Amino acid sequence: MGLRTSGAPHFFVPPEHASETPSRIRMKGRCTVKAFRGQMCSREANSRGLTIIEILVAMMIFAIIAVGVGAALLATLTISHDNKAREVASSLAASEIDLVRANGDPFKVFNAPARTVSNPTGGIYTVKRTTAWVTPSGLAATCGTGGGALQYKLVTVSVSWQGMRSTTDPVITDTLLAPTTRINDPTKGTILLSVVDAKDRGKENVTFTISPSLGAVTLRPTDEDGCSFLLQVPAGTYTITLNTPGMVDFTQSATPAKTLPVTIGASTSFAFKYDDAATVTLNYASNRPPAPAPSPIIPADMSATFSNSYGVFPKFATGPNVKLHPWEVGYQAVAGTYRDTTPSCVSVDPESWAPDTRVSPPLSRLKLPAVALAPLGTVSVDIPMGIVDIERESEDRWVTAVSQVDTPIPGQQSCGATMTYRFGQIMTGGGSSRYRIALPFGSWRLYTTGSATDSSPTLFANPSKLWLVTPGLPMAASGGLFALDPR
């Protein structure tokens, strides 16, 4: 029987709990309910599946595995393709070596520029052949280096292909070619002639002479590599001079020469930089006033100086054109003979003059931009000059201009190396009232004579008969000095 307590809620109390108080019985009931609810929540959580975070983590793990597998497959395919390409390259290299060996004569085997070959199975290959002579010391030398006696010719073939990996080396194969006849004499030496063009490539068909003469020895023009060989040459000192028409070397010489000794059992290299000349048309006094103003007279012995990063090259023009070595960097040109060595003459260069601070902003002048040249090409070069008008005299006169070392203009540079230009008979008694002449920048005096052979020149010192067309310092009241300013 359960207990019943008056004035309080009625609970059924099992007999086994009859001795417990009501508050403990209620607490146990609540605990039983909570436990039941916890079991139900756990079951509901398990039935909901994966969360979004769990899915993302799973996808990331799968991606890492997939990337690793893909990289391994890609590397395998790349290596397989590279091996197939190397097999084709090896075949091409072997074919090139067989072609060289079939020639047999080392003097007829030359460097070959890189050429491309398309394989029928796919892929583009680049084949390059280089040659060099092997000396007794085992060193490989070209005709431009010299050294010991010539023994064998080393031919190296290199084949590369499109899509090579950065860590892959090209296929390289080489062979040695021996001369079929004896080319050395233990009591004599060898001369190697090397000629390269403006781009340092071998220049073919260059002719030359040698002094003293070698008698019956044939002087063959340079081959495809720009080389010529003189074998079994007696010891001594020899001079080789190039003489191919229309060519000039880097010093602007049409017939460059070198003198070197030839010793027993060794080879001596005569190396030249020689190419087909470019023709430069000289546009003197390019800064002259436009027509109908008269064109200035240019001295027949006028000179111009051409310069670039390789040097300074004064040229005396016997006409409107000069021949120059065809450097791609081109040349800048100024009128007159520029010299930066003692005695110097730098006043002809507009860039040498300091800025003229007498005006604001200060005035300065740069040389005109360089004009690029090409072998056998023709270009025109503008050359600014100072321009002067002079009044004729009552009788025929020959006019000569002589540069002066004076620097009367602020910022002017001097010219210690005297320049002399002859205009000839330009002042005639029955001619125009004025004559226009052009001169390089700097200080000048004019002299006149009664004939071309007159050795007693007269100073032209009449300021009222000389006018400057371009900027400068007019003739002084005495002394005949005037200056032409490029700024």
Tens digits of per-residue pLDDT, 196-253?
999 999 999 999 999 999 988 889 999 999 999 999 999 999 999 999 999 999 999 9
The mean-pLDDT minimum among 24-38, 171-185, 306-320, 404-418 falls in 24-38
Q: Is the pLDDT of residue 71 over 80?
A: yes
DSSP string, 64-115: HHHHHHHHHHHHHHHHHHHHHHHHHHHHHHHHHHHHHHHH--GGG---EEEE
Question: What mean pLDDT is predicted for residues 114-120?
Answer: 86
Residue 203 burial (C-beta neighbours within 10 Å; 0-12, 13-18, 19+): buried
Greatest Cα pair distance in the chain: 168
Q: How far apart are the C-alpha atoms of 194 and 256, rounded to whole Å?
A: 13
Q: Token digits for 286? A: 């390019």
Question: What mean pLDDT is predicted for residues 324-334?
Answer: 93
Hey, what's the torsion of the CAs at 64, 69, 75, 81, to 10 degrees?
-140
Other Cβ atoms closer than 10 A to 318? 10
**CB-based contacts of 372, cutoff 8 Å, min separation 6:** 328, 329, 330, 379
pLDDT of the residue at 265? 87
Q: pLDDT: is 20 or 280 the higher one?
A: 280
Cβ-contact 109, 130 below 8 angstroms: no
Neighbour-count burial for 183-194, b at 16+ CB within 10 Å, e otherwise: bbeeebbbbbbb
pLDDT band at 347 (very low <50, low <70, confident <90, very high): very high
Q: Is the pLDDT of residue 322 over 70?
A: yes
- In tens, the pLDDT along 268-297 reads 999 999 999 999 999 999 999 998 998 999
Which phi and psi (to 5°) does residue 352 adopt? -80, -20
Hey, what's the torsion of the CAs at 376, 382, 383, 384, to 10 degrees?
180
- Residue type at position 203: K
One of 2.60.40.10, 1.10.3720.10, 2.60.120.200, 3.90.1150.10 is the CATH number of 184-275, namely 2.60.40.10
Strand partners, 174: 156
Q: Is the peptide bond before 294 cis (omega within 30 degrees of 0)?
A: no
Q: Where are the domains of the chain?
A: 20-47, 50-181, 184-275, 386-484
Q: Is the pLDDT of residue 139 over 60?
A: yes
**Cα atoms found within 13 Å of the Cα of residue 344, Cβ hemisphere only:** 8
Q: Is the pLDDT of residue 471 over 60?
A: yes
- Planar angle of CA 84, 85, 91, nearest 5 degrees: 95
Other Cβ atoms closer than 10 A to 131? 21
pLDDT of the residue at 151? 83
The mean-pLDDT minimum among 18-32, 70-84, 96-110, 273-287 falls in 18-32
- In tens, the pLDDT along 352-401 reads 999 999 888 998 998 899 999 999 999 999 999 999 999 877 677 899 99
Stated as kind and residue range, the H or E segment containing 423 is: strand 420-427
pLDDT of the residue at 103? 84
Full-model pTM: 0.72
pLDDT band at 32 (very low <50, low <70, confident <90, very high): low
Question: What mean pLDDT is predicted for residues 316-342?
Answer: 89
Residue with tokens 């050359």: 383
pLDDT of the residue at 11? 47
pLDDT band at 3 (very low <50, low <70, confident <90, very high): very low
**Cα atoms found within 13 Å of the Cα of residue 203, Cβ hemisphere only:** 25
pLDDT of the residue at 25? 52
Q: How far apart are the C-alpha atoms of 98 and 91, rounded to whole Å?
A: 11
Q: Which of 140, 137, 160 is nearest to 88 (CA)?
A: 160
Q: pLDDT: is 36 or 263 the higher one?
A: 263
Question: What mean pLDDT is predicted for residues 24-51?
Answer: 56
Q: How far apart are the C-alpha atoms of 205 and 219, rounded to whole Å?
A: 11
- In tens, the pLDDT along 44-70 reads 555 566 788 888 888 899 889 888 888
pLDDT band at 30 (very low <50, low <70, confident <90, very high): low
